[in-house]
Amino acid sequence: MIEVKNIVKSFGDNDVLKGISCKLRQGETNLIIGGSGTGKSVLLKCIIGLVKPDEGEVFYDGRSFYGSDKEGQQAIRREMGVLFQGGALFDSQTVHQNVQFPLDMLGDQSASEKRDRVEFCLERVGLAGTGELMPSEISGGMKKRVAIARAIVMNPKYLFCDEPNSGLDPLTGVKIDELVREITDEYKVTTVVITHDMNSVVEIGDNVIFLYEGKKLWEGDKHSIMHSDVAELNDFVFSNKLLRDMRE
Amino acid sequence: MAIIGKYFIFLGTLFTRREKMKIYWRRFMEECVGIGTSSVLIVAIVSTFIGAVSCIQTAYNLVSPIIPVSTVALVVRDMVILELAPTITCIVLAGKVGSNIAGELGTMRITEQVDALEVMGINSASYLVLPKVLAAMFTFPMLVIMAAFLGILGGYLAGTLSGVISPRDYVYGIRDGFVPYNVFFMCVKPVVFGFLIATISAYQGYYTRGGALEVGQSSTQAVTTSCIAILVADYVLAQLFL
């Protein structure tokens, strides 16, 4: 479990996060949703340590991230898998090399064990046989799946996905959601997904946190989100005509 | 001053939390090919023509009949060894290698590849930049040695083919009063210049923020700052070593 306590972050005069606290549960898909500019990505970066918050703390199964020394933070980071919005694949390496990269840098397996693990992960995300392709030769959806394979190759305890469906067509987006769901259930990881896609909320939202103007305005699940009395949340959820029609 | 301080802090991060040595060795060899081997052609062309022009222009200026013609070759030799080969070659490399390093790291930064390394627990600065710095410090002296040889050869070809100096006078001139220490000085300069080019360009690229426009700006800034640093270091080294 990841516990976020009173995260505050400002950039100059811009107060982006104004005291966010939440618990992100193990074995569940925890979604952080909100409109553009509400601080979702900044919150994610504070949680994974890319941006140091002005105040607050993040606990990984009781271990304080910002209270740890460099070695402690590095140890926690090595239990993370992160899927960035654009995939963040290394352009100069093949798909196979990209997925194998964490094993080369951090693991101590033999060459054949690494190869087997990479092939297993690529097969798991439905990309068997694509190992020799370069990132420039594959589609956006395939890049996201390669990035997921890279994120899970070290058997992480925590999986973070920054807008995994951005730039993808609806069908591919659903496949990515399903993959995240399956990995969460299979490996019992603590999964955190940043998204503004209501399809993802409906498909995989076990625990949903709604941010509005830097504050946590609502927390619940994919069922209760349809029946809340928070006006700002309803404006966000039912901005989609289809959902509006369904409610009516 | 804040920028200079941040630059030295950046240099410090290159040597902390290093990864396995065999990873650095592989990266170092890759960078030697990318930085050194791929620069051979441009260095060869530039140095040959610089030597040729130096010979012609020196001959043009030495019009006194009491000065032996072989002096042209002596001047070309010392100009090429002391200044043209190391400094001009490294200014050319600042443009080629420096812009490449800044552009590559800047693009990696804006596409979150650097962040991907950081969240894996890898020191991205050390992993990405240190091999480039070492490769530059290792390959630049070799390129400069090649540039010196080709510069003197270029002077020979230009001088003898244009008739301003005979082959015999040219060979006599390049051997006359040769000081081996100058070659040592010629080899010290590219080590220092290589360090400056690689670290300054890497610093510019690593701290790029924004999009494609900012990557271009970082690349340009890397080249101009590297050139200025080379010229300042050139003066300081001349004062220290000569």
What is the full per-residue pLDDT of chain B (242 aa) written as tens digits?
Answer: 888 899 999 999 888 777 778 888 989 999 999 999 999 999 999 999 999 999 999 999 887 889 899 999 999 999 999 999 999 999 999 999 999 999 999 999 999 999 999 998 888 999 999 999 999 999 999 999 999 999 999 999 999 999 999 999 999 999 999 999 999 999 999 999 999 999 999 999 999 999 999 999 999 999 999 999 999 999 999 999 88
Residue of B nearest to A162 (CA): B112
Structure ipTM over 0.85, yes or no: yes
Instruction: Specify the 3-state DSSP secondary structure of A31.
Output: strand
| Interface check A50 vs B, CB under 8 A | yes
Which of A84, A89, A106 lies nearest to residue B121, judging by beta carbons?
A106
| Interface check A47 vs B, CB under 8 A | no
| DSSP result, B58-79 | HHHH---TTS-THHHHHHHHHH
> A96-124, pLDDT tens digit by residue?
999 999 999 888 889 999 999 999 999 98
From A105, A116, A39, A204, select the one nearest B116 (Cα to Cα): A105
Structure tokens at B67: 């000065």
Size of interface A-B (CB pairs under 8 A): 52
Phi, psi for B144 (deg, rounded to 5): -70, -40
Q: How far is A85 from chain B (nearest CA, A)?
A: 9
Domain boundaries, chain B: 19-241
Q: Do A105 and B122 touch (CB under 8 A)?
A: yes
Q: Where are the alpha helices (DSSP H) in B120-211?
A: 124-162, 167-175, 180-206
Domains, chain A, ranges and CATH? 2-79+157-247 (3.40.50.300), 88-155 (no CATH)
Q: Do A50 and B118 touch (CB under 8 A)?
A: yes
